[in-house]
Amino acid sequence: MKTVLFHRRFKKFQGGHLKAYHYFTHVLSSPAWTARVRFTESSIFDESNPWRAHPGNILGADESCEPDVLFLGGRDWERIPPDWVEKPPAPVINLIQHVRHGFPDDPRRPHLRHYATRICCSQQVADSIREAGANGPVFVNEYGLDPGEFPAPIPFEAKDLDVLIVAIKDPALGRRLRRRLWRPGRRVQLLQEPALRSDFIGLMNRARVTVHIPHETEGFYIPALESMALDTITVCPDCIGNRDFCLPGENAFRPAFDLGAIRAASEEALALSTRQAAPLLAAARETFARHDITRERGRFLDILEDVGAGS
């Protein structure tokens, strides 16, 4: 059995960790492969760390591993032994989860000169790193999610929140938006602190409208796709990486990234009746279904087999 070695620095749960963990479990799903992970000394192992479910696959501080493939995230190049950077002991798969990797001033961009097979979470990410001169093959493997992790949607007309504002990445903008959306009798909730994923999904399920405030640039933005599973109208401003799945007028609202535009889209969404919202919500559910994690897994395992054949 061949081994894929992951590297992680885990300080708090973020979407990037969720997807790295998904790839970890993709490896474990194959009878031909196993996965090990090495954490930095400062990493934490609270209940938000999904790798706690795999204690036997976590390397101890002094435990060695001779991998057949290295799996690296954006800044993991800085966490592997220095001599591995220029001459890795095995082929490298590099997961790229943000368009910023190709930006001229981003600290991750210099790592693109190292040869690796790169897997990008969206076409926009692939375009960004290709333009930056990424060294090695570049594949697009759009994010997938496990439908089994989501509860049955609360019917639209039975939800007890009018609007949930997801502003963990920009609390100040979230507070400004809340002030502009609040009115007597309107049930508005602002989420500005990280929450357990199960609690977060539960909140979205209760909301008629979920307004997302991502960073201005993202590689994909998973929460918008998550909300599409839950019969909550998705409002997510343009953040580049969401352009292929947040489709204005079809399955979501995708305003420009400014407060006025986000507020206007939110008010338009809040004004929709159950009948008017139905086509939008149906299209959102179809979008979510197309992003089933089994598709992502199959695509990745095909790439892994090709990369591993050279190890």
**pLDDT one-digit tens code per residue, 44-82:** 888 889 999 999 999 987 888 999 999 999 889 988 888
| Domain match, 20 and 132 both | yes
Q: Which pLDDT score, from 0 to 100, does residue 258 have?
A: 96
User: CB of 213 within 8 A of CB of 174?
Assistant: yes
Give yes or no: residues 139 and 157 share one domain.
no
Q: Are 206 and 159 in contact (CB under 8 A)?
A: yes
Q: What single-letter DSSP state applies at residue 147?
A: G
Q: State whether 273 and 164 are in the same domain.
A: yes
User: Which letter does DSSP use for residue 153 in this model?
Assistant: P
Q: In the predicted model, is pLDDT for residue 190 greater than 80?
A: yes
Residue 175 confidence (pLDDT): 98
Give the domain range for residue 241: 147-290
Tokens found for residue 185: 């009798």
* Same domain flag for 203 and 258: yes
Distance from C-alpha of 70 to C-alpha of 307, rounded to nearest angstrom: 10
Q: What is the mean pLDDT of residues 79-94?
A: 91
- For residue 57, the 8-state DSSP code is G
pLDDT for 40 equals: 87
- CB-based contact 89:7 (threshold 8 Å): no
One domain for residues 113 and 186? no
pLDDT band at 311; cut points 50, 70, 90: low
Dihedral sign for Cα atoms in the order 57, 222, 165, 171? positive
- The mean pLDDT value for 134-144 works out to 95
Our CA angle for 226, 232, 238, nearest 5°, is 65
Q: What is the mean pLDDT of the chain?
A: 94
- Do 157 and 81 share a domain, yes or no? no
Measured distance CA(8)–CA(20) in Å, rounded: 9
Residue 16 has pLDDT above 80, yes or no: no
Task: Identify any residues that bridge with 3 across adjacent strands, giving them in sequence order.
Answer: 34
Over the range 104-133, which residues count as b (16 or more CB within 10 Å of their CB) and which as e?
A: eebebbebbebebbbbbbbebbbbbbeebe
Return d(Cα 243, Cα 237) in angstroms, integer. 10
Average pLDDT over residues 128-152: 95
Mark whether 151 and 279 lie in a shared domain.
yes
CATH number of the domain that 7 lies in?
A: 3.40.50.2000
Percent of the chain beyond pLDDT 70? 99
Using DSSP, state whether 85 is helix, strand or coil: helix
What pLDDT score was predicted for residue 18? Answer: 86
Co-location of 296 and 280 in the same domain: no
State yes or no: pLDDT of 291 exceeds 80: yes
Residue 41 clears pLDDT 90, i.e. is over it: no
Q: Are residues 34 and 97 in the same domain?
A: yes
Tell me if 92 sits within 8 A of 116, measured CB to CB.
Answer: yes
Residue 310 predicted with pLDDT over 70? no
**Per-residue confidence (pLDDT) for residue 21, from 0 to 100:** 94
**pLDDT over 90 (residue 307):** yes
Q: What is the pLDDT of residue 172?
A: 98
Residues 103 and 208 in one domain: no
Task: Say which residue, 75 or 22, is predicted with more confidence.
Answer: 22
Q: Which residues contact 282 (CB under 8 A, 6 or more apart)?
A: none
Kindly state whether residues 188 and 54 are assigned to the same domain: no
Q: What is the pLDDT of residue 186?
A: 97
Please report the pLDDT score of residue 14 as a whole number.
Answer: 75
Name the band, by pLDDT with cuts 50, 70 and 90, for residue 266. very high
The number of distinct structural domains making up the chain is 2
pLDDT, mean of residues 190-204? 94
Q: Looking at the structure, do residues 218 and 240 belong to the same domain, yes or no?
A: yes
